[in-house]
Amino acid sequence: MNISLLGKNALVGGSSKGIGEAIARQLADSGANVTLMARNEDRMQSIVREMDSSQGQKHQFLVVDFSDFEAFQKTISDFFKSNTVDILVNNTQGPQAGGALEKTVADYQEAFDLLFKSVVFTTELALKHMQDQKWGRIINVASISVKEPLNYLALSNSIRAAVVTWGKSLAYDVAKDGITVNNTLTGYFDTDRIAQLNVKKAEKLGISPDEVRSNMEQQVPVKRIGDPKEYGYLVAFLASEQAAFITGTNIPIDGGLLKSF
């Protein structure tokens, strides 16, 4: 099967590193014109220079701060005045770790703006072009914690669950327009985010971050954590014509970690 996204415009959130970067690079490898979207301008400049453009693609980047919704709202609105998107990958940095008893109402509001409002607002702007052309792909990067909550990620558990159920509702409404909406449920991947969480977990448990990582690897049936490139492969498929009959799904990418189904 040859996945070709030639002529498609993709917008990828949180794409200056980690999973978002891997997704952006794979979409470019598959022929799409990719717009990166994150805070780190220098890093995005470097990635754009490195991304595959052998099929005549044009890549660009958009500097945004997902944690400042008002500023994000203005920046993304300006972007859509002169750009259209065929493939939208909704992905942001995660909120602060911590248990339910550690978080306040204000913390939940901040997480809601970061993880939910930014996703819904961006999707609303992208949908008009998708509906006009009767084709579109929306992929929401979520977490396995929406099915099996992690007690040290109360904010992420709660708000990402809202994104997933919203995505399911949206999938039903736009299916007639040739638009698919799918949620990817992220397991353990080799990213800066995991490394940071492991440091905090190690402090609480009184062990080393290496021990935390080793324990994490042992929990996964395939006995390793994921390479972000593997995430890119899944998203490229979901963005393709070959995935036209897949919509409204929650797809774990976790090496078999989830025990539920």
Q: Which residues are catalytic?
A: 152
How far is the C-alpha of 116 from the C-alpha of 161, rounded, in Å?
10
Specify the pairing of strand 60-63 against strand 33-38: parallel
3-state secondary structure 134-171: CCEEEEEEEEHHHCCCCCCEHHHHHHHHHHHHHHHHHH
Beta strands in the chain (DSSP E): 9-13, 33-38, 60-63, 87-90, 136-143, 179-186, 250-253
Alpha-carbon distance 177 to 131, whole Å?
Answer: 6
Distance CA 3, CA 91 (A): 22
- The answer to whether residues 257 and 187 touch, using CB atoms and an 8 Å cutoff, is yes
SS3 state of residue 33:
strand
